[in-house]
Amino acid sequence: MIHYGFQCSAVQQAMRARLPYGKRHLQVEVREDLFESAFTDFSGAAEAFAASLSDEVHRHFAFQYFKYLQHLAQGRTLAKPDGFGLGPACRLIRAELDRLFDLSFLSTDRKIAA
């Protein structure tokens, strides 16, 4: 077995159940203590983004998609909101909320190192 100077030790913190993510059905393990922090960070940023939208229809869709991502993070099932009729705005809203989700949940490894 080859070792490259890595110190491997078991994580002492409890791990949350795997977090399913995206169309590729990726699963990410997030420590329990970091999950709450990531969830709070995501919720605050996503809510601020959704509230900043000037168009009422776009704002409503953003809050629906925000709720969908929150349920996804908690392991609950909720139908993905349909943005039919919103045009490119739907994709832009989803992209921004997905980006905020990524920043909050998929960067928890950086929070572990800190």
> Could you tell me the residue range of the domain that residue 99 belongs to?
19-113
Q: What's the structural domain count of the chain?
A: 1
Report pTM: 0.70
Q: Is 26 domain-assigned?
A: yes
The most distant pair of C-alpha atoms in the chain lies apart, rounded to whole Å, by 59
- Does some domain include residue 98? yes
pLDDT digits (tens, 9 = 90+) for 20-57: 555 544 566 667 778 888 889 999 999 999 999 999 99
- Structural domain contains residue 61: yes
4 assigned to some structural domain = no
H runs (alpha helix) in the chain:
32-52, 56-73, 88-101, 108-113
Question: 64-87, pLDDT tens digit by residue?
Answer: 999 999 998 888 878 888 888 888
